[in-house]
Structure 1
Amino acid sequence: MKFLNKLLLSLFTLFLIVISCKNKEKEKTSTQQDIKKDSIIEIKARTTNSLKQKIAIDIKDPRAILQSERHRYTGTFKIYSSKDGHDSYFDSEDKNTIKVKIGVPNINFRIYGVYNISQGNKKGIVILVTDGTTASACGSANNFILEETFLANTILDVHGNSPLSLENTTNLNVIVFNEDKNSFKKEYINVIKKRFLRPGKFDYTCRDYRINKAIVQPKQGGGGIIVGIP
């Protein structure tokens, strides 16, 4: 009888030891998961902060339009360059620096891409802008000016080739294309390029570039022609 009681006591003690070990292992695993979770959150926070810092450095905020220049930006996404003055132009001496001012409706608009659509002596670029929405901006008043400087030799075509050259160039066509980044497709640039290269005058007013509804249906844009000045 005493032997049986000792055996039962030993088995019960062993059972308690096993349960205790499992609980400790469970607590260890839980602690490791919490540490891993905290690490992931910390990494995400660092990544987000780095991204915000990069955006703050690389992307310019639009500035409020001045009353003295409002009459020059009456069309959505209009670029002003005429015989009376040039807010947008390219440097006729270095043949590389391009300065652009674009009239935009709200302070959320940013430039997120630029493509070369030139062919032969007909020179043109497409500047992609968005305010982060899919809403049309056509017909909206220009309340802000988005300014940017580009280097021609860094502006490539949709295939990442053919850098823009401004040698022996007097006019550069600038097409501003409003499209949400998540909806943008490179095929849209080919659509605009086909329209641009057609004989006749290109329409720079805020308009629809749709050619084939089944394949591509880009939103609206504007722009203008800029010239080289010293």
Structure 2
Amino acid sequence: MKVIKKTSAEQRAFINSDSTAAPALYVFGDSLFDSGNNNLLPTLAKADFRPYGVNFDRGATGRFTDGKIIPDLIAEFLGLPFSPPYLSIRGSPKLTGLNFASASCGILPETGNYLGKCLNFAEQIDLFNHTIELELPKHYKTSSEVSNYLSKSVFVITIGSNDYVNNYLDSRLYDTNQRYDPQSFAGLLVDKLFLQFQVMPLNPAT
């Protein structure tokens, strides 16, 4: 799909047209969904080199695969352009969605930090909140318009596997499995995730 730069008014017309099933696609998660955020972070968890992207027309973009990632397929299904990595945005972001996912990170802030800097789930939510509070009001006049836009948007999340692979199961670097039995650790992740979801203001009109 060819993505054409549009003005704010043109963007609003595009996302409200019959050609899209939703106005925007917002992506959160880890390496399964990262589309290039880690390219711009000081970390060893990068996929900006071959053979990554060998079957992708844009080449090695930071996607941890040889082709498209699941959010790309969802975007195509919805009739939307691929959600760009948040850290690559210069200026006002597109209204058609953003990708906040970051490889090696998870629900817990310490997960994957031995590889370098990544955006844990709480930080991804903070960036999303920043977008809602500072960027969306530039395009919508009232909070009810923002709420309507968000209620029709699609949100996809994959998170938590690194909390095991890059934390709980790696006893060389973490003592988590000494402090929690498997059931308690799973409960810790669920509790953290629940709290993080509570600070996502998906209905700013209330």
TM range (shorter): under 0.3
- Which has the higher Rg, Structure 1 or Structure 2? 1
Bigger share in helix = 2
Bigger share in strand = 1
- Give me the TM-score of the superposition, normalised by structure 2: 0.23
